[in-house]
Amino acid sequence: MTGAPEHREFAYTERDFRRVQALIMARIGIHLGAGKSQMVYSRLARRLRATGMTSVSVYLDQLEDGEHLEWQNFINALTTNLTSFFRENHHFETLVEYFRDHPASEPLTVWCCAASTGEEPYSILIALREAFGPGKPVHLIATDVDTQALASARAGVYAMERVSKLSRPVLRKYFHKGRGPQAGMVRIKPELREAVEFRQVNLLDGRWPVEAPLDAIFCRNVFIYFTPETQKQLLRRFRRLLQPEGLFFAGHSESLISSGEGYHSLGRTVFTPDPTFTGVSS
């Protein structure tokens, strides 16, 4: 089957795509641009096959009931989970420097709020363990809206190519190598997996189960999907959770927050609350 309309397995119209855009925007804030129509079709086609449905519009009808069990699968199908270990490595170095300069008796608290399949929170933990050893307590909360991605994150199993850039000592220290049917895979060691608190959080929800003050927030490569208005609201809320000198890490194309929202830039998409900010904070 190709994606061309005449070869499609299921009926799919412009109107269906617009419904999908509206539903996902209202629920998780993701803006699906016009160019995403074909991607949406292929991802929903998988859900239709799995549920035995024969039309996209009937599939969407059921989502009109906001509590329908299919909702979570719909969200999982439409998120983009691209990530990797030590993506934008300079952020992990900055985090280590911050912790070196801020010796605390309390555990250091870090929220990784679009954690996807886990590579990002495990990179945070590995960077901190490498710098300070297990003696320095860290409270790391890793959240995402996508429950399937979170299940992979909790399992901590990755194909070998995904860790090919990590050094041998790091691999030996923090990963088990798969054998037999698991050959070609690695798994994060249990003590590291257990050190991360994974939870489902939709950033659009009014309440976040995260306690202030936080030393650092990683919110990378998710803002690009949100409207400027949503980005602004989230930035104000994140700011209220951060320590006065805490760090906010944005994705590589997300330097957009440098002005106006109560942060100042430390360079390379790292931000900290601006103590002189007097803007509206709601």
Ligand X SMILES: C[S@@+](CC[C@H](N)C(=O)[O-])C[C@H]1O[C@@H](n2cnc3c(N)ncnc32)[C@H](O)[C@@H]1O
Catalytic residue among 43, 47, 87, 162: 43
In the bound complex, what is the minimum distance in angstroms from residue 271's beta carbon to ligand X?
15
Minimal distance, residue 194 CB to ligand X, in Å: 21
Residue facing ligand X at closest CB distance: 83
Is 100 an active-site residue?
Answer: no
Least distance (Å) from ligand X to the CB of residue 54? 28
Residue whose CB is less far from ligand X, 221 or 243: 221
Select which of 16, 144, 146, 215 is catalytic. Answer: 144
As measured in angstroms, the least distance from the Cβ of 117 to ligand X is: 7
DSSP one-letter string for the chain: --SSGGG-SSB--HHHHHHHHHHHHHHH-----GGGHHHHHHHHHHHHHHHT--BHHHHHHHTTSTT-THHHHHHHHH------TTTTTHHHHHHHHHHHHS--SSPEEEEETT-TTTHHHHHHHHHHHHHH-TTS-EEEEEEES-HHHHHHHHHTEEEGGGGTTS-HHHHHHHEEEP-GGGTTEEEE-HHHHTTEEEEE--TTSS----PSPEEEEEE-SSGGGS-HHHHHHHHHHHHHHEEEEEEEEE-TT-GGGGSSSSEEEEETTEEEE-TT--S---
Which CB, 175 or 226, lies closer to ligand X? 226
Binding site for ligand X (CB under 6 A): 28-30, 79-83, 87, 114, 116, 120, 144-146, 149, 201-204, 220-222, 225, 251
The nearer residue to ligand X, 1 or 82, going by C-beta atoms, is: 82
Q: Residue 43 catalytic?
A: yes
Active site members: 43, 144
